[in-house]
Structure 1
């Protein structure tokens, strides 16, 4: 360490530049991963919105709907979600579709990134 203070050949400068390059590489790597995660979440949110709206329009139980009750037809909702993810070329996605307080709630997770969307059938169907 004492030799670096008396450096005449520029080794300390080269070592400092190497360290700065390493820090810059780490920063760029972190920035890239963060922007990728943001893009994935944005795409996943868009798909969840689409699924929630489609389930609100055509994925409800028709018998219950005739009585004014909103109940999700599980098979139709699952088919809508799988078709949407397949069309977007997203092969393995974990998702749930629920009816909470009169709203269709879609939650999806892809590679550790999660997203959710809500659609209200009363507003969409009228």
Structure 2
């Protein structure tokens, strides 16, 4: 399972990385359960509280059993996803163009549209 799938989908991942879900400035991590931004300072987790608009000490990271993602890694996964989608769309367009060219070639070839009963006279 990749990082974006772990979050849920690309839209949710983009919301998390853009920090639309919080008033925190540049949080480093996002906890998946509970859904909360946090930072780690000297090995200690500090969860951000939007109501108080500050980080509060929780406990050492090594003692935490919740699943979390590094926001920088999530941004990289989104960029790679966007690049993959872009390349896929580019390939689809190239395939579409080759199919269209094939169709046009067959339609413009007059030999495909002449009745077999028509006589051709060379001059």
What is the TM-score normalised by the length of structure 2? 0.38
Greater helix proportion = 1
Which fold has the larger relative contact order, with Cα–Cα distance below 8 Å and residues 6 or more apart in sequence? Answer: 1
Structure label with greater radius of gyration: 2
**Which is strand-richer, 1 or 2?**
2
